A and B are shown apart, each in its own frame.
Chain A
């Protein structure tokens, strides 16, 4: 569908190089799309999620005829054109009111997607509290016992982490942890269906506590959403496995031949090759040399012994 671009100047070449597959990937870009019909709640939710995801987010302001569960070919085109692998599509209809569809792509093909309906949503602008700066790395919390068991919850957890965790770094500034996203799972419904999930966002305020660790206070920043699960398309197993592969360079390296013994001391092993003890070069000890067949062996040695004894007596 998209024409292959041959770079004619260095700038385009750099952009293309940035977009190709790498061992350590870029931060995933998300596209926020409005469907053919949206409501105020959906618009506010999309606007808030977009603000949290900035600057790695693209906001499509015009409405698109897009129904991801029926036809997801549009998503492939958008993904290739914008080099984005995450989507949030907001729609509203009588059958499915205030719906958000989260979708993920792998190699510009659909990986998985899920639908949530917003029962009650409070946008960021309704909270008259200070907000965190754009582009900060959030902390996450998943409360409740369902997050490892039900496939709906597992996928939602994976989606939220994927969307907002930003860049995987090996160090973070302690002063830069500004906000926290907390998702709580409500109780199951009486029919045994998954219950509501409550998404809340708070800014973190560190207070003095008399000890080294600070006291944490939270101030609600928004958005705040109560959601129920809708339809879901899980990823095909082989594609999913391929997407989870870690390149060799990023796997943690094992240190060989170094262990810690029971006492806590570091012990190392050195592997020697085969050694031929007859041919090893050692220090020369003249006394141990093999002599040519002696004639009065015992006499001589006896004499030697006597001389030694004499010396001892003298001393």
Chain B
């Protein structure tokens, strides 16, 4: 039985989905649902009936683009049939620079060394005392400071006259303070480590935390020395404080004023100049501003 005739008649009823006349095949960037048509525009058509020509051209290209999109692998989702798009090929700029990686905290280092993995726990926990579900942490949690208990046994070693409710509240306060101090310490060490290890931070990896503690200490000592030096007599006649640091290795060496060999003086001056205006010191002096300032002063 020859059904080709029937099929042909059926096909004739509908308009075609193929597009002819494209000398240069279209390029597609399906990640962005884009089609690039390099074929030259028919200028005479454009002049005669611009909008119809543009609409028919767009329709042809849209048909080709959709033919490509419908050939992509699909999965069925709650939202219907979804086409899996490839990664876009056209590079579009970001709006913000790449995030700098946060340095490792002390706990993270310890957990990595011990192999402790963070497993997600349920938020609600069954509380045996009250027989209902309570949050594991936070507002009205089971781990609260315990001063809500209607009776507290005096522990074996404690003073019987002591207020146990007060003791529990104090204990919680201490825990919160300790946590805060540790968080503060982590932040300071992170700041020092990022500053110290600029190379790895710029590469996009986490900075090395090994010497952060020692470096933080050094930084604090430096600041103490600077503040000592900033008194009127450069710290010479200050009252000595018990346990204060002795500044190490601060000795000034004076070069003789008149030397036969001027190369050292020249080298010293050139290094200063290099650091300020040379190619290493481009960031130190804003040359444009300096020129403007001198001009205005004149």
**Chain A residues near B (Cβ < 8 Å):** 20-23, 25-26, 28, 85, 104-107, 111, 137-145, 147-148, 158, 161-162, 165, 168-177, 180, 182, 184-187, 198, 200, 202, 204, 207-218, 220, 224, 235, 240, 242-245, 247-248, 252
Contact = CB atoms under 8 A, between A and B. Distances in A.
7 contacts: A106-B97, A142-B35, A161-B32, A169-B85, A174-B83, A214-B66, A214-B70
Interface stretch (B9-17, B234-242, B248-256, B280-288): B9-17
Contacts, number: 201
B17 A202 contact: no
B54 A182 contact: yes
Contacts of A182: 54, 57-58, 61-62
A104 B16 CA distance: 42
A232 B137 CA distance: 56
B239 to A, nearest CB: 37
B81 A174 contact: yes
Given A105-B95, A161-B32, A161-B92, A143 B13 contact: no
B80 interface: yes
A184 B77 CA distance: 36
B33 interface: yes
Given A137-B33, A142-B36, A207-B15, A216 B92 contact: no
Closest 5 CB pairs of A and B: A243-B93, A85-B95, A182-B58, A140-B34, A21-B99
A142 B34 contact: yes
Contacts of B96: 20-22, 25, 85, 106-107
Most buried by A among B57, B61, B95: B95
B37 A143 contact: yes
Given A202-B62, A220-B51, 9 more contacts: A21-B96, A23-B99, A143-B57, A200-B58, A204-B66, A207-B14, A213-B67, A214-B70, A216-B59
Contact of A173 (B51, B67, B82, B92): B82
Most buried by B among A175, A207, A216: A216
B15 A187 contact: no
A189 B24 CA distance: 24
Contacts of B51: 200, 220, 224
A215 B33 contact: no
B160 interface: no
A204 B33 CA distance: 14
B176 interface: no
Contact of B17 (A107, A172, A200, A209): A209
Nearest to A158: B92
Given A170-B84, A247-B204, A142 B94 contact: no
Contact of B62 (A26, A162, A204): A204
Interface stretch (B39-47, B114-122, B145-153, B188-196): B39-47
A186 B70 contact: no
Nearest to B61: A141
A172 B80 CA distance: 10
Contacts of A198: 50, 54
Nearest to B38: A145
B230 interface: no
Nearest to B91: A244
A245 to B, nearest CB: 6
B95 A218 contact: no
A99 to B, nearest CB: 22
Interface in B45-74: 46, 50-51, 54-55, 57-59, 61-63, 65-67, 69-70, 74
A138 B33 contact: yes
Contacts of A145: 38-40
Contact of B13 (A185, A210, A248): A210
B79 interface: yes
Contacts of A106: 93-97
A172 B70 contact: no
Contacts of B69: 174, 177
B31 interface: yes
A245 B62 contact: no
B127 to A, nearest CB: 25
A196 to B, nearest CB: 10
